[in-house]
Amino acid sequence: MTVPATSAADLPLPEHYRPENVARFSYRPDQQALFDAAPAWRRRHGIAPASADRRDIHLLLIDVQRDFCFPEGSLYVAGRSGHGAIDDSRRTCELIYKNLARITRVTATLDSHLAFQIFSPAFWVDAAGAPLAAHREISVADVESGRARPNPAMAGWLAAGDVGFLNAYALHYVRELERAGKYRLYLWPPHCLYGSDGHALVGAVHEARLFHAYVRDVQAFTELKGDNPFTENYSVLRPEVLTRHDGRALAHPNDRLTETLLAADALVVAGQAASHCVKSTLEDLASAIRARDPALARKVYLVTDCMSAVTVPDGKGGFAVDFTENAKEALAGFAAAGMQLVESTRPMASWPGFPG
């Protein structure tokens, strides 16, 4: 006979968890050992299957991947502290373990890219045909003047040999971004490429979500995004641009996931980066909420100490690029819309209006 846990927040950290593993790029959990240990942990703490939960508590982990979360990654989200994503991952793991009996399900998104995409330097050349560098914007004026143009060598395999199509589409794309007013096209270094070590989840976070799945008898869900070479996909809920220059459909929103997230009794959001993929996902979620019922925003909980902003050091003790203020402004806007800003170090039961 099992005794129900008195509080999901009271659960201890399991024996297999080692905080130091959070900072190890190469860490790989023993997945079989997690499966083997789950039944005893379930019995010891009186944890019921997720299907028995009276409330659906959905944890959305956005892009907690190695390329974003380690200095060895190609696009480390260090924040201003220099160790932002590592600290975020540790707190995320501990949030999952301490609330294992309360969290109903965990969905992890995976930024998923190819070698040539519209936001990658490989996609672009300058007027002389030289490749462009990462960490620069491309404006409408750049494309109109020819200072930036799609690499014509791509046409043979990306546009049926039609260089004109590529050029027309590129101009349409940057115009659409500027018309929307969210971003200009920004060139990122290669990151989260299919088949790379950097595409994988942080080992310790994967360990935590997998242990949750085995203890709660619930699937460990994933959502891939970002492999359409013609559009950015910061948000897991929709690409940045949905149509081509000729009016034909380019991509579609992820309406299924939007419905799943909005159906939860509480949606808890953590991940990387607060200035980009987290921000964009929440903007799209906020739009869906406004269209349906603004009161739904109150059940969205943003775990602010489990996310950081993109920064790019300048090598002189400062930053060449710093999106911290963008992230702060976005979080303040989400709070004004009714979403809850919370910290992982406070028990979930103490979060404002938290169900269960």
Q: What was the pLDDT predicted at 181?
A: 87
pLDDT higher than threshold 90 for residue 109: yes
* Owning domain of residue 133: 121-187
Instruction: Give me the pLDDT at residue 8, please.
Output: 45
Kindly tell me if the per-residue pLDDT of 106 is higher than 50.
yes
pLDDT at residue 2 greater than cutoff 60: no
> Which of 202, 8, 235, 239 lies closest to 103 in space, CA to CA?
8
Domain boundary among 150, 165, 187: 187
8 A C-beta contact, residue 323 and residue 183: no
Pairing of strands 105-111, 57-62: parallel
**What's the average model confidence in pLDDT over 32-54?**
97
- Domain end, chosen from 187, 210, 243, is at 187
Count of domains for the chain: 2
Rounded Cα distance, 29 and 39, in Å: 18
In this structure, the answer to whether residues 128 and 219 fall within a common structural domain is no
Residues 195 and 183 grouped into a single domain: no
Do 142 and 221 have their domain in common?
Answer: no
Q: Which of 160, 187, 214 is the last residue of a domain?
A: 187
Q: At residue 1, does pLDDT exceed 90? A: no
Question: Which pLDDT band, with edges at 50, 70 and 90, does 5 fall under?
Answer: very low
Tell me what the mean pLDDT of segment 49-77 comes to.
98
Does 153 lie in the same domain as 183? yes
Instruction: Provide the H-helix boundaries in 12-117.
Output: 31-45, 66-69, 84-98
The answer to whether position 20 is within a domain reads: yes
Q: Does an H or E element contain 335, and which?
A: helix 324-336
149-161 confidence digits (pLDDT tens)? 999 999 999 999 9
How far is Cα of residue 80 from the mean position of the Cα atoms in its chain?
19
Q: Look at residue 183 in the predicted model and tell me its pLDDT.
A: 83
Are 138 and 174 within 8 A, CB to CB? yes
Rounded-to-integer distance, Cα 345 and Cα 95, Å: 8
Lowest-confidence segment of 121-130, 271-280, 311-320, 328-337 by average pLDDT? 311-320
Query: Do residues 214 and 256 share a domain?
Result: yes
Q: Give dist(CA 63, CA 271) in Å, integer.
A: 6
- Mean pLDDT, rounded, of the chain: 95
The strand ranges marked E within 274-335 are 300-303, 311-313, 319-322
What pLDDT, on the 0 to 100 scale, is given for residue 110? 98
Same domain? For 238 and 304 the reply is yes
Contact between 290 and 262 under an 8 Å Cβ cutoff? The reply is: no
**Per-residue model confidence (pLDDT) at position 356:** 67
Q: What's residue 7's pLDDT? A: 45
Give the pLDDT confidence of 253-277 residue by residue, as tens digits: 999 999 999 999 999 999 999 999 9
Phi, psi of 164 (to 5 degrees): -60, -40
pLDDT in tens, 165-196: 999 999 999 999 999 988 899 999 999 999 99
Phi, psi (5° rounding) for residue 109? -90, 150
Helix or strand holding residue 207 (H, E): helix 203-216
Q: Which residue, 256, 310, 303, 252, is CA-closest to 282?
A: 303
